[in-house]
Structure 1
C-alpha cells in the first residue's frame, strides 16, 4: 500500500523538540516515572520489580486487560486488545474496509482517521461541524449515508475543537448505524477529559454490537511516552483478526509500559483530576487573553478534551503565521493546513503548566501584528 505523509506529525517532528514552547500540544504534561511508581500498590510494585524483558502476549498482558475492563460494561479480556493507539487505528481500518466501501469521518480530525481510509482507495465523506459553535448536526451525518457505506468514524471528545455529543445524539448515531448495518469506529483517546458540566458518554463498545472503542494512556493520563492503547469491542472475531495483523507490526507490547499502564489505570484519581484542573485554568486564562487581541477573531472554549480550534484574523496564511511565530518567539502552534481544513485556525492546547508563561510572550508578539480587518 501507499500512504501520504502524516502532515501534522511531520510538522511536529520539525519543531517539537527544538521549539521552546509547545502551544498546540494535545496531551497534558507527562508525569514522571517516579510519581507513577509512588502511587503504585505493593502488588503493583512487585509486578514492576519482577519484570522480565522478554516478549509479551500479543493481545496484551492479561492483568492489563483486566485493569482496562473496569472502565467498560464488557467483562471478558477476550474483548480487549492492547497495542499503540496509532497501530490499532491503522489495523482496524485495514481490516474493516475494502476499496469498494464508502466511509464517513469527521472533519477536522487527526489525519490518520482519514488518510488510512484514502490509502485503501475507499470513497470518503466528511461530517463537518458548524464553525459558529463546533456542534455536529446528526441530520447532516445521515445525509452522507450511501448504499455502499460501511463505516462511520467518530472522535468525541473531539480533537481539535473540543466539541462533544449528548447521550441522545450518540444514541441517534447508533440508531443510524443499526438501520444501515454500519460499523462505528470511535476514537475515544480523550475519554473522561470533560471540562464543562456534561454527562460522560459511554464507550461505543458498551452500547453497540458493531462498535469499536479506542482509548489509551496518552491524553487522559498524561502518559504519552508509554505508547499504550487498547481496542474494546463486542466482536471477538474482529479482535482476533487485529491480533493476527499485529504480528506484521509490533508483534507485542513493551513489558515495562504494560505494567506502568496497569498502575495508571488502577489509580486514575492520581492523574485525571490534576489534568482537568490544569486545562480548566488555562482555558479561563485564554478566554481573558482573547479579548485583548483583535487578531483572534473567534474562540469557542472546548467542552471536553485538551484543545480548541482558534480562528485568526490575519493577512497571510496560518502556516506562514505559525512558521514566523516559532522562529521569532520559540512558540510552536499547529496551523489548520495540517488538518486540510479551510479557514485560518490554529490548534491551542491547554494541558501544559507553562501555559501562562507562553501567553505573556504571545501577548507581546501579537501586539506587533496588524489584524486583516475589523470584526465590527
Structure 2
C-alpha cells in the first residue's frame, strides 16, 4: 500500500541534492504549512522542457559492460521516471538532481540532427553502429512535441548508416516508415525494454512509460515488418520482477523478438537513496526484503561499480537469475539470432548521395 505522501505519476518521490553543488536547498516545514494555509502549491509537479545547445552529439562508450561503441541522446533527463534508472546520476553533471529533477527537467537538444549529419560527413568518421538512447529514452514524451529522434533517423537513412534504438515507448511505431527503409538494407536494430508483465508493477516502477500490452504489440509490429527486435528484460529486481523471468521471455518470443538481454539491478550513486525512499513509500511491506536481496547480489551494498560484475551480480540470488535466463534462452530462443548491422553502404553515401564511380 502506498503512503499518503506518494507523488502520483513520478518514479522518484523526492528531490535529491546534487553532489557537485556547494549549497543544498531544503523545503522547511513552516514554509509547507504556510502554503497549506494559503491554499498554494509549493511544487506544481509539472515537466519543464529546457533547450540546450551542445557542440557535439555522439558519445564514445568506454565501459566494458555496455554492448555499444557509440551512443547519442536527443534528450537529457527522462520523463518516463523509471525509479531504478542508471542515467539519473548523469543529470548531476548538468547541474540538476538525480531525483525528481531528472524526470521533470528535460533538456532538449534541438540541433541534434544537424550535429549528427556534420559528424557523419566528417572525413575521419568510419561507420559504427550509433545507439539512440544509450542514456535516456529517445521516444520519451518530449519526442511527440519536438520530433528530434525522427529527424535523426532521417539523417541515418540519408547516409545509409547503421543505427540502434533502445526504448520502452510505443511512440516508435510513428516512425515505422523510416524504420522499414533502414531495415531494407539491414541498418536498424531495435531494443524494446519489457520489465514486467504486471501493469501494477509497471505503473509504480516506470510510471510514464507505455503499457506492457503496447510494448508487446510494438515488438510484434516491428517484427512483422522485418525490423529486428532484441527484448531488454532489464533490470531484474529480486523480489519485484525476478519471479517473472520465464513468463517475460516467453511473451517477447511469442511476439517476435529475435533475442533478449538482461541485467541485475544496481543502485549506484544517488539511485540507492532514491530507490530506498521509493520502495518504503510504495511497497513498505516488502521494502527491507527487496533491499536486502539487492545487496546480496552486490557484495552487501546497493552501490556496485565493479566492471564485469556490476550488471551481472554475484551470489546465490544472482546465480538463480542467470540460471533461469539460460533456461529461457534454450526454451524460447534456441534458433533465433539478432543480426549484425550493415556498415558497408555508408562509404558510398558519405557525401549525402550515392557515388557512381
> TM-score, structure 1 length as denominator?
0.27
Structure with greater contact order relative to length (CA < 8 Å, sep ≥ 6) = 1
Given the two structures, how large is their TM-score scaled by the length of structure 2?
0.28
